[in-house]
Structures are given as C-alpha cells and as structure tokens.
Structure 1
C-alpha cells in the first residue's frame, strides 16, 4: 500500500502538475459564463443593446477584402513556430536538470565578462525559434501595412467597444454573432488580434531580450526600472495569454464554420470546399512529426553543428 505514495509525490514534482488545476477551473469558468450570458440575453435591455450593436464595426476606407496568399503562409508558419516556442519555453521554466548544454564556439559568440555563455539545450532551441519568429514578424508587419491589411486588425471607431461586448455575450451564450471574416472580423476578433499582434508580441520580445543570456548584463543600468524578476513574470504571463488565445481561437474556428474558416486562412478562398481542411490537416501532421522528432538526441545533433554541446 505504500508504493503509490512516491508515485503521486513524483507526479506532484513533475512539470505537468502545475497544469492540473487549469482543467477544472476552465470547466467552472466556462459553465458560469455560458449560463450568465444566456440569462443576460433574456433581458429586454440586452436584446435592444445587441440589436443596436450587432457585433461588427466598419473598416477604414480602402481596406482590401479577403486574404492574400502571403498571409496564409505566414499564419501557418507562425502557428508552427509558436507551438515549439511554447513547448521549449515551458521546458526551460520547469526542467531543473537539462538534457544537455550548448555553447557557441565561433568568434561572434555572446560573452559575459569575457566568457562564452553556456545555456541549456532547451533554451538554445527557444532562442533559435524566437529568432525565426522575429524574422517572420518583421516581414508580417511590413506586408500588413504595405498591402492595407492593417485595416482589418486596427480599431478606428469607438463603437468597436460596445460591439465587442455584444459579440462576447453572443459567443458566451453559444448563439454566435454573424460571421463574415472574409470581409470583416467582428469587433471582439479585431480587439483580440490587435492585442496579440501589437501588444502581446512586442511585450514577449522586449521581456525576452531583457532575460536573454549575455544581454541581461547590459540592462544593469535599467535594473531598478525594469528588474529581471519583473521581466520573467511578464514573459510567463504573456506565454499564458498566447496559450489561452490559441485554445479559444482554434475552438471558435471549428465551432463557427470549420470549412469556411479553414478555407480563409489556408486555401485563400471564401468557399465551402475541403481544400482548406486538407492543407490544415497536412500542416497538423507536419507539427506532430516535428514534435515527435524534437528529441534531445536530435536537438543535440543540430545544435552541435553551430556550437559545442555538453551533457
């Protein structure tokens, strides 16, 4: 009878135990939100409010209709990179004994007090993926403003806020707002995407730079204004936000018209064919294969080509 005790103790010490509380908490929060929203929608005042603000705000003049091919490619690449950024970031935070360490071995290596920085293999992967994510983001920002697609993500009218509240209540009551994502997102989507693209992403970058090995020492003059401990907390909170956004985003993509939504972002059309689903499925298979392949011995082999890997 004494044998299960250490097993439970080991589980409590694992990096997965920290996530156990999230499942029952999410079920309770979702249940309360749905019941509360359905009660609100039964009130005449709320029905009048939704009629006045159906959930969508007008776009700036000249905003293009539909999605260009470059946006579909960037969306898929960003999803792939973010998956492994979150995975490697969680491993950096929770693993107390890394599988290996990596040291850059060329003349341009990052140094602290004259010595090369030695980091865990998981942190090496995290920083490498961050670099790809930043490059992809710079290209995204440039094309977003050059092509006028920014108009779909940047709020320009004050009615965006009451319309967002309306859309949120409609979502929560499980009676979805009218979807027309090909030409215009609803107000809640606009605010969510604006927060992700223009607030959360830069915040992740700034806090990541503050924590970066070899660069942290250069922030010493700003330590009081921006301490390392604060950067860590904000960086982790930003990761939690990204995870929550991805879960809600993917859920709504499938719940509010999967074929049409997947065609928008993967097949670049406004139809009901299975092409978008097929491309999405292929990308999902690629993610699964990459997830399985990202084993320590594979990472050691890749990292060893551009540095020194030690156990």
Structure 2
C-alpha cells in the first residue's frame, strides 16, 4: 500500500520558514557581534581613536532645567509599553502566518455607537490586534503628554549636535566591551538618548500610521485606499516590529550587564538604589506578560469579543 505524503499547509510552511529565518538571523547576529567586538578593540588601540573618545566621552551635559531622576509614572509606562508590545508581536505573527483565523467577529450595529455602514467581519486575531493597538496608542499619547508636561522630554530629545560624535563614541565603547561611564538617573548617554528618541518619535509613529493603513478602519474606497499606499505600509510595518524587537533585546542585555539592580530600581520603582525591590517588580511584570501571552488564546478571546459583537467559528 502506497502512502501519499501529506503536503504541509500554507501556515505550517510559513512558520517553518520563519524558524529558519530566526536561526539564520541569530547566527548572523552572533558573527556580526564577534566581528564588531574585534574591530572595536582594534580601533581602541589607535591613538587617534583614543583621542576621539577622550574628547567625546559619550555623554552630553543636559540642558539647564532638566529634571533629575525617573518619575513613578515612567515606570508604569515602561511596563504598559512592554506588555502591549509583547501581545502586538504575538498577534502580528499570527496575522502574518496567513492561517485561517480560529473565529470571526462581526460588530453589532445595534449597540453604541450606532452606524449605518455594513458590518465588517474581522478574524479574531485581527480584532485583538486592533484593540491592542488602541490601548498602546492611548498609552503612548499619555506618555508624550506627561513627557512634555514634566520636562522629561529634555532627557531624550537631543538639543546639541555634539550628541552625534558622543553617540559614536558610546557605541565604540560598548562594542569594545569597555562600557561608557554614565549615570542614567541624571542623564542618558548620547547613544541611549538617540535610541529613545528614535523609538518614541520615529518608530512608534511609523508603527501607528502604517498599522492604521492596514487596519479595517481605513477607507476601502477613494484616493486614500490606493494599493500603492497599502504596499508601502506593509513594507514598513513589519521591519518596524523587528526594530522594536531588536531594541528590546539590546535594551534588556545592557540593563543586565551595566548594573542590573540599580537600573531595575530606576526603571520600575523610581528609586536610585541597588536593592532587590526593582528586580522583584520587574520579575512580577514579566510573569504578568507571560501569563497574558499564554492566556491570549482563541477560546478566551472569542468570549471577550462576543461582548461587543457576534462571533462565529
């Protein structure tokens, strides 16, 4: 009896390709990291490079009036951003897998706010992704408002062109495994400052705008619905997600290799201390995110979605 091999589904093939890409990506990243360290250490042995590092140590003095310390609301923002970003990555990967959604949600037009438009059916993963987007945007808007209301923007918005050579110097020091001297309770080093500025004012708006273009809220007819704008949004949205993942990975690695207890206290308890309280709060936040990741499964999502519409499948 001849057994015909089963052809893998499109979704299974997609996940197989992604796993292969991840493995290749990790291998390339490891090789690139080793090369970067070797090159950086060779450069640090050159007198001209050492003179450059001495002139630009990696930190630009903050402008007058810059607040010292990290407020408690920033710790909550840090957790909420990480929480929503983790679930956005989960749902984004599900959407990109092209698997048939395990259920479909249709809006109940009899509920407030009422609309005369025909209801649109959304896959349960897309429905959840859009709700996460809404909460993430709300968190981001409150963050920006508080950032400017409390003067904390002075800590992450460059106000001096000296930030560029100092960022190069800081990157060179990190790459050579000779960490730059810094005190993030008072001022971020220039590389940190540029990274945070990019995340808040460039990557986040790009993620929002491209995600909005790809969402069901975007008009399906008219000039705004051109296929070219959709293609451009798709070409940007996924790389932005990868940028957030890369930033998060580097951010976590540096936190744990440059004085973890003190950094975690600053980030999660708004204290410049080196006890274990910040680590405990961090561990609790990771446990909450892990639980949310595990619980965010179709059966629970469909029960929640049924509160605001009709769920099929």
| Residue number in structure 1 paired with 2:15 | 14
SS in 2 for 1:116: coil
Question: Please, which of 154, 157, 169 is the counterpart of residue 157 of structure 2?
Answer: 154
| Residue number in structure 2 paired with 1:47 | 50
Contact 1:211 1:232 in 2 (8 A): yes
Q: Kindly indicate whether residue 128 of structure 2 is the aligned counterpart of residue 119 of structure 1.
A: no
Contact 2:106 2:310 in 1 (8 A): yes
Contact 2:40 2:176 in 1 (8 A): yes
SS in 1 for 2:220: helix
How far residue 6 of structure 1 moved from its aligned partner, in angstroms, is 7.3
Contact 1:110 1:116 in 2 (8 A): no
Runs of 5+ in structure 1 lacking a partner? none
Q: TM-score, normalised by structure 2?
A: 0.92
Equivalent residues in 2 for 1:60-209, closer than 5 Å: 60-107=63-110, 114-209=117-212
| Residue number in structure 1 paired with 2:40 | 37
How far residue 96 of structure 1 moved from its aligned partner, in angstroms, is 2.2
Q: TM-score, normalised by structure 1?
A: 0.92
Contact 1:81 1:133 in 2 (8 A): yes
Contact 2:218 2:225 in 1 (8 A): no
Measured in 1, the distance between the counterparts of 2:295 and 2:124 equals 15
SS in 1 for 2:105: strand
Contact 2:14 2:97 in 1 (8 A): no
Measured in 2, the distance between the counterparts of 1:11 and 1:121 equals 19
Equivalent residues in 2 for 1:252-263, closer than 5 Å: 252-263=254-265
Runs of 4+ in 1 over 6 A off after TM superposition: 2-7
SS in 2 for 1:174: coil
SS in 2 for 1:63: coil
| Residue number in structure 2 paired with 1:284 | 286
Contact 2:57 2:170 in 1 (8 A): yes
Measured in 2, the distance between the counterparts of 1:19 and 1:177 equals 31
Measured in 2, the distance between the counterparts of 1:293 and 1:225 equals 36
- Identify if the C-alpha distance between structure 1 residues 308 and 225 changes in structure 2 by more than 3 Å, giving closer, same or farther: closer
SS in 1 for 2:62: coil
- Identify if the C-alpha distance between structure 1 residues 53 and 40 changes in structure 2 by more than 3 Å, giving closer, same or farther: same
How far residue 28 of structure 1 moved from its aligned partner, in angstroms, is 1.2
Measured in 1, the distance between the counterparts of 2:113 and 2:77 equals 30
160-169 or 71-80, which deviates more: 71-80
Deviations 1:260-292 (A, max 9, x none): 100001011111110100100111111111111
Question: Please, which of 224, 231, 234 is the counterpart of residue 232 of structure 1?
Answer: 234
Measured in 2, the distance between the counterparts of 1:33 and 1:154 equals 28
Measured in 1, the distance between the counterparts of 2:140 and 2:264 equals 22
Q: What is the total number of aligned residue pairs between the two structures?
A: 307
How far residue 3 of structure 1 moved from its aligned partner, in angstroms, is 11
Q: Kindly indicate whether residue 274 of structure 2 is the aligned counterpart of residue 308 of structure 1.
A: no
Measured in 1, the distance between the counterparts of 2:96 and 2:200 equals 24
Measured in 1, the distance between the counterparts of 2:160 and 2:228 equals 34
How far residue 226 of structure 1 moved from its aligned partner, in angstroms, is 5.8
Contact 1:117 1:214 in 2 (8 A): no
Measured in 1, the distance between the counterparts of 2:33 and 2:6 equals 33
- Identify if the C-alpha distance between structure 1 residues 247 and 110 changes in structure 2 by more than 3 Å, giving closer, same or farther: farther
